[in-house]
């Protein structure tokens, strides 16, 4: 007798090869229209699914999980970040939570480096001027930016992505500094010739460029607060490809408008998909629509991790990418 296949409900469109394999292996419901699930659809999903495959845009909180059916035993997040999930509530209900770490490291680091290159050199401003027909020819003092080589880069969060950013930045001649919960191992420190700052305040006051690469947790919400943004040098730049909630976005907008910070490159926002209107139109800000991890290869690898996690769980084993609340 054939065993009953797991009921898997996917909340967004995934790459075709991933959806095909999910259909082959499980009793899978796909989101053909890619319309984000509203509250009613999420409630219906958790009542029927054995496995829910949400993305970072779905809020899976205690209120939703309280309405889940007893059959829901696995939430297989399509994404590395888990700040949209109430992990504690899930674990208390006996639900295993997995994510897709590691595969987005290079993709996110590439976009981070692109912003580090683009904002000080004012590339986004140049594009806008050219498109507006305002390029009248080269001039010695026109569109002057800042040289990267020799500048100090302060990385907030020296995990996989932070280290990947550091390797790229070092190749461009930047000096690597970082703030982390603890120093990285000696081998990484020596490879990157990196300087560790236990005090974030002290690091912020001395850097030419600041890159936010830490996850969003209760401890990192508004880590770059209005007070800390006041510590940043007037000629410094801030890049954020992590989570918008790590920066007090309103305070950042005020500082940028007032010229208290030279510029910013942002791929994430505090209340996505909404963008603080005070940031729109600022010449010293480059904004991207959360595309740091958006590569074909990365999305397929994320889907492969989701499938491995579900298949391992279905076979009665611990999935390789379980999220453990104690180490968040």
pLDDT digits (tens, 9 = 90+) for 27-48: 999 999 999 999 999 999 999 9
Catalytic choice (21, 74, 243, 299)? 243
Torsion of CA 305, 23, 107, 263, to 10 degrees: -120
Residues of the chain with pLDDT under 50: 1
CA pair distance 148, 207, nearest whole angstrom: 12
290 is catalytic: yes
Catalytic residue among 19, 29, 191, 272: 272
Mean model confidence pLDDT for the chain = 96
Look at the block and give the residue holding tokens 């740091």.
Answer: 292
Does the annotation count 243 as an active-site position? yes
Report the SS3 class of residue 243. Answer: coil
186 is a catalytic site residue: no
At 4 the pLDDT is: 83
Cβ-based burial of 149 (10 A; exposed 0-12, middle 13-18, buried ≥19): exposed
Long-range contact set of residues 1-9: C-beta below 8 Å, sequence gap at least 24: 6/50, 6/51, 6/310, 6/314, 7/48, 7/49, 7/50, 7/51, 7/71, 8/49, 8/50, 8/51, 8/52, 8/53, 8/76, 8/310, 9/45, 9/48, 9/49, 9/51, 9/52, 9/53
Alpha-carbon Rg for the chain in angstroms:
22
Task: Name the DSSP class of 85.
Answer: B
3-state secondary structure of 191: helix
pLDDT value of residue 2: 56
> What pLDDT is recorded for position 326?
66
Hey, CA dihedral for 283, 285, 291, 292, is it positive or negative?
Answer: positive
The residue from 12, 21, 122, 290 that is catalytic is: 290
| 3-class secondary structure, 158 | coil
Q: Is 243 left (phi over 0), alpha (psi -120 to 50) or beta?
A: beta
What domains are there in the chain, each with its CATH number? 7-102+296-327 (3.40.50.720), 105-287 (3.40.50.720)
Per-residue pLDDT at 170: 98
């Amino acid at each position: 007798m054939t065993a009953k296949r797991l009921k898997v409900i996917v909340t967004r469109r995934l790459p075709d090869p991933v959806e095909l394999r999910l259909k082959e292996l499980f009793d899978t419901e796909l989101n053909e229209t890619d319309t984000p699930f509203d509250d009613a659809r999420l409630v219906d999903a958790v009542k029927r699914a054995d496995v829910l495959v949400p993305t970072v845009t779905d809020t899976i909180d205690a209120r939703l999980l309280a309405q889940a059916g007893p059959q829901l035993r696995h939430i297989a997040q399509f994404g590395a970040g888990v700040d949209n999930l109430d992990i504690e509530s899930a674990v208390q209900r006996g639900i295993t939570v997995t994510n897709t770490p590691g595969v987005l490291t290079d993709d996110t680091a590439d976009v981070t480096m692109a912003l580090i290159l683009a904002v000080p050199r004012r590339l986004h401003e140049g594009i806008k001027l050219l498109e507006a027909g305002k390029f009248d020819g080269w001039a010695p003092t026109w569109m002057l930016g800042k040289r990267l080589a020799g500048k100090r880069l302060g990385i907030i969060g020296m995990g996989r992505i932070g280290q990947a950013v550091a390797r790229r930045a070092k190749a461009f001649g930047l000096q690597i500094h970082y703030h982390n919960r603890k120093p990285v191992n000696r081998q990484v420190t020596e490879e990157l010739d990196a300087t560790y700052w236990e005090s974030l305040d002290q690091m912020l006051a001395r850097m030419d460029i600041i890159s936010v690469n830490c996850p969003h947790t209760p401890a990192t919400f508004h880590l770059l607060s209005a007070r800390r943004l006041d510590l940043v040098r007037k000629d410094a730049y801030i890049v954020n490809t992590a989570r918008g909630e790590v920066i007090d976005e309103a305070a950042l907008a005020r500082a940028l408008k007032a010229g208290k910070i030279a510029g910013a490159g942002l791929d994430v926002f505090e209340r996505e998909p909404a963008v603080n209107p005070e940031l729109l139109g600022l010449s010293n800000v480059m904004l991207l629509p959360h595309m740091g991890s958006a590569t074909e290869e990365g999305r397929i690898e994320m889907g492969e991790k989701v499938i491995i996690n579900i298949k391992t769980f279905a076979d009665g084993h611990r999935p390789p990418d379980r999220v453990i609340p104690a180490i968040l």
